Amino acid sequence: MVERVGTVSKHDLTHARHDPVHCLAPGLFRSLKKGEQERKRTKLDVVYDYGNGKRVEFSGPEPLGVDDLRILQGLVAMAGPYGLVLSPDPQTEAGRQLRLFLEPKWEAVQQNAMVVKGSYGSLASEVGYANKNDTQPIRDSIERLWKVSIIAQNGSKRQGFRLLSEYASDDQDGKLYVALNPLIARAIMGGQHIRINMDEVRGLQTDPARLIHQRLCGFIDLGKSRLVELETLCGYVWPDQTTNQNTIRKRRKTARKALAELVAVGWKLDEYARAKWEIRRPKGHDNGTHPTITAPTPR
């Protein structure tokens, strides 16, 4: 059976119910230099071990940047009201064909699938792109995400799938079809999730601020605060270590500027010691659960 999750307009998409692993995996998304050279030189190879025999491995031909982070946030946000839930036993021929197309394996056969049908223009609007008619960057990002392979392990069980299970588009009319992977689908449909305010996402201006914002959303509950140090924030943007003092100074300065962007969208900061903050997240109407996985502990 295929059914819609909801029927709100795009202007009502206030948040994304995102999967904790995709938000918290260190280095999954990173700040990249302008141009394609850095993407061509390196590959994506990220392993996130979050305890109790659970780990997720991400691999792909290119690293993922903040443009990819924004597009994935937009797809997850759109899936809330616009997504199609495909049950394990569809009643229509179209649903059965789509289920076969997704090729679910093992336990995934008994899980609901989540499919997003929309347009490049609506996706551009949700993530705050200035030029909604330039679809090339969005298409490039979606195809980069589709190329990412995931191996999820829970104890002795391992399951493999793509970051985006399926993808199809039509450049002529701008239509877009994306099937989200089981981890994201479970979060959207009421499982453990991280709530990301899309108004805040659209209000941020720089890549470092967007990276820091998603990671902080991962372990600071709505209306709550946590203590975070500058070096931790730098690690969210640049997961690679460096001993170059000039680079370190530049990174610290950039991270401080990123915090000012968080203040501009409603976050509260109290620098109780040099390069150490108590960061408070704005209150919100949260009707979902918070992730129970182990989040990175700020030092």
Mean pLDDT over all residues of the chain? 80
For the stretch 247-256, contacts whose Cβ atoms lie closer than 8 Å and that sit 24 or more positions apart, written own/partner, are 254/208, 255/208, 255/212, 255/230, 256/230
pLDDT at 225: 96
pLDDT at 192: 87
pLDDT in tens, 109-140: 445 567 888 888 888 888 888 777 778 888 99
151/101: higher pLDDT? 151
pLDDT at 144: 94
277/299: higher pLDDT? 277
Q: What is the C-alpha to C-alpha distance for residues 78 and 73, in angstroms, rounded to an integer?
A: 9
pLDDT at 1: 35
pLDDT at 294: 35
Task: With a cut of 90, say whether residue 164 has pLDDT above it.
Answer: no
pLDDT in tens, 44-65: 999 999 888 899 999 999 999 9
The answer to whether residues 98 and 112 touch, using CB atoms and an 8 Å cutoff, is no
Q: What is the C-alpha to C-alpha distance for residues 174 and 272, in angstroms, rounded to an integer?
A: 49
pLDDT at 7: 34
- Mean pLDDT of all residues in 182-187: 85
Q: Give the pLDDT band of residue 234 (cuts 50, 70, 90).
A: very high
Alpha-carbon distances, residue 203 vs 41, 175, 238, 261 (angstroms)? 31, 26, 22, 8
The answer to whether residues 142 and 126 touch, using CB atoms and an 8 Å cutoff, is no
Task: With a cut of 80, say whether residue 173 has pLDDT above it.
Answer: no
pLDDT at 287: 42
Alpha-carbon distances, residue 90 vs 7, 112, 144, 243, 261 (angstroms)? 21, 10, 30, 56, 46
